Every structure is written in structure tokens, then in C-alpha cells.
Amino acid sequence: MNGRVAAASGQEEGRPSRQINVVLRQQEPPVSPAAAVGDGRSLNSGGVSPKSHAHGGLFQELSRELDALVGLDNIKELVFEIYALLQVAQMRSEAGLASGSQAYHMVFKGNPGTGKTTVARIVAKLFQRMGVLNKGHLIEVERADLVGEYIGHTAQKTRDLVKKALGGILFIDEAYSLARGGDKDFGKEAIDTLVKSMEDHRSQFILILAGYSDEIDYFLMSNPGLPSRFPIQVEFPDYTIDQLVQIAELMAKERDYILMPQAILKLKQHVLLEKSESLHAFSNARYVRNAIEKAVRAQAVRLLTHYESSSPGKQELMTLRTEDFKL
């Protein structure tokens, strides 16, 4: 999701709407059980272990993407459960057994920067490759993209977005904001249209609602037909301090930077203080990303100042020092 920090009670009114984000995916043929599943898969009473079962090409690919994410163990197990369910449904169908369709609409609960959009994209890929979705694209929207300015406008805008999402996933960020204005607000019209679209286009798209835990729970109670339509509800926990430092190092590595030990210590102490004293919902990985980007800018100024008549070496160009983290 795009970086922003919102108060737990909701974001400020009058905020400019961002552009609708559409992530297109090249269509690939569904993976058959024979090609995607290896031998020896088993479940145990202690829970599933994706790594021990990932013998197939598809899940090996998904595992690499999931393993690249710091933490989120419960999310990784959920993705494997969905993968296993889809595989067994294919096997049952090929064996002539009933394999009734499942509802895969989801609710992602958690603070900003906890990986909700990233996981949604991985889920979209899984459903497309398994033949549940024929496109597997992700359309990310928020309240301003759904709610219109007059009666009837909201329903049309919402239907248009659902139409664009057919064959893929409609991801509504801060979905609770649709219920903020009560019965007289146009947000209720968007909710009612979404509920009807879920019925009219059953199995043609997947709706994922995302937002803060308490606000999402309130949102689900705003329409009697909502809770039962989202059988998959998952919490995205805040990252620990050590996980946030690990994320910072990974972000730096992706940009061909390295952090000096003292810089890591300074960042760790600052994040600990910020997380404990912030009056707003802590933005987790987004906050760390902003800190890294700010340090990169500071490093550029430092190098340009110190090397006026020469070029720093490769190692110096890669190194982020304590003085670069102006936190």
C-alpha cells in the first residue's frame, strides 16, 4: 500500500484521492496437481509447515516470495492452507468426487505497513495460477474511488470498479471509512452495492477489505450481510523492533546500500522510541522505508560535500553511516 500514517480514529477529511492502482499480471495456465504437488505431503496436529511440503513448482515460487517477507508466519500458513485446499479440490474433481466451490473473500486487519497489499498480490497470483481467477490482477481502491457526489453516483462508480476487478481481486484499503458517515452517507450505498455484486458475480472476483482491526470490525457490523461473506479474516501484527531493523537492512540491500553497525544501532533505538511514543498508529515497514530513503538523501549530500573534486569509491557509495540517519 502507499505510505501514509493515519490516526486510529481515521484519517483526516479532505485528503486528496490517490490514483487507482491496477496491478496487471501476465496470464499463465493453471497448474495441474501432477505438476504442482510433489509426493509426501502431510498435515500434522501442530499445524502446517509450508517449507516441508513445498515440492511443486508453483508453491516453490510462492514460497520464495513469502520467505522474502519478514515475519507474517500466520499469513504464510494461511496461503499454504488455501493452496492445499485448491489442490485437493482439483484432485477430488478428477476422482469424480464433489468439490463444492468456496468463498475466498477476505478481511486483512492491521496497522499500515504490515504487508497487506504485498500479500494480496501473492494471493492474486495463487488464484490465477490455480484457475480460480482467470486474470489474477489486483485493483487497489479507497473510499474516494467508490463514493460519488450524489444519489446513484456511488452505486455506478462501485459497479464500474467491480466490473474492472472481474477475474481478479478488488482490494479496498481503509474499508471502514465507507461506514463512517452512518445511514445518510453515500458510503452506505457503496457497501450495499458491494454486497449485491458479491452475489451477482459470485466466484468471478475476490473482495479483500483492509484496515485497522477495530474499525474493520465496526465496518463489518454496518451491514448484516457482510460478516458471513468474508470467511477468511486474518490479523497482520505489528513488526517487532528486530524485524523492522531486518526490513531496513533488506531495503538498503535492494538499493545496493549497506548500513554500518552504529547506524543500525541508531536506527533501532529511534524506531523503538518512535513506536512506543507515537500518538498515531505506527506505520511499521513504511516508517522504516521513509527512514532509509531519507538516509540515502543525506548520504548523497555528505558525499557531494566531502568529494568536491573526486569521486568516492564503490564502498563509500554503498555505505550509510550514523550521520546519514538524521532522525
For residue 123, the domain's CATH number is 3.40.50.300
Among 177, 204, 236, residue at a domain's last position: 236
How many whole angstroms separate alpha carbon 244 and alpha carbon 238? Answer: 9
Residue 167 in any domain: the answer is yes
Among 143, 288, 277, 290, residue whose Cα is nearest residue 215: 143
Residues 6+ apart with CB under 8 A from 10: 174, 176, 177, 180, 215
Same domain for 141 and 224, yes or no, is yes
Same domain for 227 and 106, yes or no, is yes
Element (H, E) at 266: helix 261-277
Same domain for 193 and 280, yes or no, is no
Owner of C-alpha cell 499454504: 80
Residue 44 in any domain: the answer is no
Range of the domain at 314: 241-324
Task: Answer whether 257's CB lies under 8 Å from 226's CB.
Answer: no
Residue 171 in any domain: the answer is yes
Task: Answer whether 108's CB lies under 8 Å from 1's CB.
Answer: no
How many whole angstroms separate alpha carbon 210 and alpha carbon 193? Answer: 18
The letter for the amino acid at 187 is G
Half-sphere exposure of 45 (CA within 13 A, CB side): 0
Same domain for 26 and 175, yes or no, is yes
Q: What torsion do the CA atoms of 59, 162, 211, 61 make, to the nearest 10 degrees?
A: 10
Domain total in the chain? 2
Residue 89 in any domain: the answer is no
Same domain for 194 and 107, yes or no, is yes
Residue 66 in any domain: the answer is no
Residue 58 in any domain: the answer is no
Model pLDDT, residue 182: 61
Residue 291 in any domain: the answer is yes
Model pLDDT, residue 56: 58
Same domain for 118 and 203, yes or no, is yes
Among 201, 236, 271, residue at a domain's last position: 236
**Residue 255, SS3 per DSSP:** coil
Among 236, 262, 294, residue at a domain's last position: 236
Residue 7 in any domain: the answer is no
Same domain for 123 and 252, yes or no, is no
Query: β-strands 21-23, 138-141: how paired?
Result: antiparallel
Same domain for 223 and 247, yes or no, is no
Mean pLDDT per 10-residue segment, the chain (327 residues):
39 44 48 36 36 56 82 87 86 84 88 89 85 88 87 89 93 86 75 88 89 88 81 91 94 95 95 82 88 96 90 93 92
Residues in the chain: 327
Model pLDDT, residue 96: 87
Task: Answer whether 137's CB lies under 8 Å from 22's CB.
Answer: yes
CATH at residue 308: 1.10.8.60
- State the pTM of this model: 0.72
